[in-house]
Amino acid sequence: MVEGRPRRSSQLRRSGDCGITERAQALLDSLLLALLATVFSGHIRPFISWGDGPELLTAAWRDGVAHPTGYPLYLLALKTFGCLPLGSVAFKGNLFSAACALLAFGLLFRMIPIEKENHWKGIGWRLGLLAFALSPLVIRQAVTTEVYAFSLLLAASCLFLGARFVSQPSERGLLMVALLAGLALGHHRLLVFLLPGLALWLAGSLRTWNPPRRLFPAAAALFGLAVFGPYLVLWLRARSDIPLNWEDPSTFGNLWKVFSAHQFRTDQEILRVKEWMAHEQGFSPSPIRLTLESLTGVPGILWSALGLSLGMAFLGVGHSATVARRAFGSGLAAWALPTVFIAQYHVADQADFHLLPLLVWALAAGVGWGAALEWARSKTPMLPWTLVALALLSVSWRLRAIEGPSPYLLELPERLARRTLDQPPPGAVLIAVPARAQEPVDYTYFPLLYHKEVARRGARVALLSEGFFTSPWYEKTLLREGIHSDFFQMLAKGTDRVPLEEKILTEFLEAATPRPTAPLTRIYKVGGRIFLENRHTLALLMVERLFPSFEERPLYLTGLFQELERYLPRPVEWRECLRVPILTEGHSDLDRMPVPSGKLYRLELQNEAMENGP
> Strand 523-526 to strand 500-502: parallel, antiparallel, or no bridges (unpaired)?
parallel
Indicate whether 252 pLDDT > 50: yes
Q: Specify whether the CB–CB gap between 602 and 555 falls below 8 A.
A: yes
In this prediction, residue 611 carries a pLDDT of: 47
Residues 217 and 85 in one domain: yes
Q: Of 150-164, 476-490, 499-513, where does mean pLDDT reach its minimum?
A: 499-513
Alpha helix (H) ranges present in 281-406? 287-296, 298-306, 309-323, 325-344, 355-379, 383-401
| 116/49 same-domain check | yes
Cβ 558 vs Cβ 393: under 8 Å: no
DSSP 514-559: --SSSPP--EEEETTEEEESSHHHHHHHHHHHTHHHHTTS-EEESS
Average pLDDT for 344-353: 74
Q: Which residues contact 49 (CB under 8 A, 6 or more apart)?
A: 94, 144, 145, 410, 413
- For 336, phi and psi rounded to 5 degrees? -65, -45
User: In the prediction, which pLDDT does 9 show?
Assistant: 41
Mean residue pLDDT across the chain: 86
**Domain around 72:** 10-229+265-401
Q: Is the pLDDT of residue 418 over 80?
A: yes
pTM of the model: 0.90
Average pLDDT for 358-385: 91
Q: Verify that 75 and 36 share a domain, yes or no.
A: yes
Q: How confident is the model at residue 585, as a pLDDT?
A: 62
One domain, residues 162 and 193: yes
Cβ pair 273, 508 in contact under 8 A: no
Report how far apart, in Å, the C-alpha atoms of 551 and of each of 347, 445, 548, 562 are.
39, 22, 5, 18
Most confidently modeled range among 52-66, 376-390, 403-417 = 52-66
CA–CA dist 522, 515 (Å, integer): 13
81 compared with 594, residue with greater pLDDT: 81
What burial class does residue 495 get, using C-beta atoms within 10 Å of its C-beta: 0-12 exposed, 13-18 middle, 19+ buried? middle
Q: Is residue 158 part of a domain?
A: yes
Work out the pLDDT band at 271, boundaries 50, 70, 90: confident
390 and 472 together in one domain: no
Give the rounded percent of residues in the chain with a pLDDT score beyond 70.
90
- Between 74 and 467, where is the model more confident? 74
- Provide the H-helix boundaries in 229-324: 231-238, 252-259, 262-280, 287-296, 298-306, 309-323
Same domain, 365 and 420: no
DSSP state of 70: -
Q: Which of the four pLDDT bands, split at 50, 70 and 90, describes residue 187?
A: very high
* Inside any domain, residue 243: no
Dist. CA 28–CA 112, nearest whole Å: 13
pLDDT of residue 126: 94
Residues 165 and 298 in one domain: yes
Mean pLDDT of all residues in 593-613? 73
Q: Which of 401, 416, 450 is the last residue of a domain?
A: 401
Integer CA distances (angstroms), 312 to 131, 290, 395, in order: 11, 30, 14
pLDDT tier, 11 (very low <50, low <70, confident <90, very high otherwise): very low
Of the pLDDT bands very low, low, confident and very high (cuts 50, 70, 90), residue 134 is: very high
Please give the pLDDT value at position 586. Answer: 57
Say whether pLDDT at 230 is over 90.
Answer: yes
CB atoms under 10 Å from CB of 452, counted, come to: 22
Domains held by the chain: number? 2
Q: Is 5 within a domain?
A: no
* pLDDT at residue 13 in the model: 42
Separation of alpha carbons 550 and 483, rounded Å = 8
Name the domain boundary from 401, 435, 466: 401
Three-state secondary structure string covering 197-224: HHHHHHHHHHHCCCCCCCHHHHHHHHHH
Pair (161, 305) in one structural domain: yes
Higher pLDDT, 124 or 3: 124
In a domain, 539, yes or no: no
Q: Establish if 238 belongs to a structural domain.
A: no
| Domain assignment of residue 259, yes or no | no
Instruction: Count CB atoms within 10 A of the CB of residue 209.
Output: 12
pLDDT value for 224: 96
- Using only C-alpha atoms, the chain has a radius of gyration, in whole angstroms, of 27
Last residue of a domain, one of 368, 401, 434: 401
Residue 35 has pLDDT above 50, yes or no: yes
Give the residue among 154, 152, 161 at the shortest CA–CA distance from 111.
161
Say if residue 200's pLDDT is above 50: yes
Q: Are residues 385 and 427 in the same domain?
A: no
Q: Are residues 345 and 447 in the same domain?
A: no
344 and 456: one domain? no
Q: 12 burial class (0-12, 13-18, 19+ CB within 10 angstroms)?
A: middle
Whether the Cβ atoms of residue 53 and residue 150 lie closer than 8 Å to each other: no
Same domain, 45 and 179: yes
Residue 525 lies in a domain: no
φ and ψ of 161, to 5 deg: -70, -35
For residue 57, is it within any domain? yes
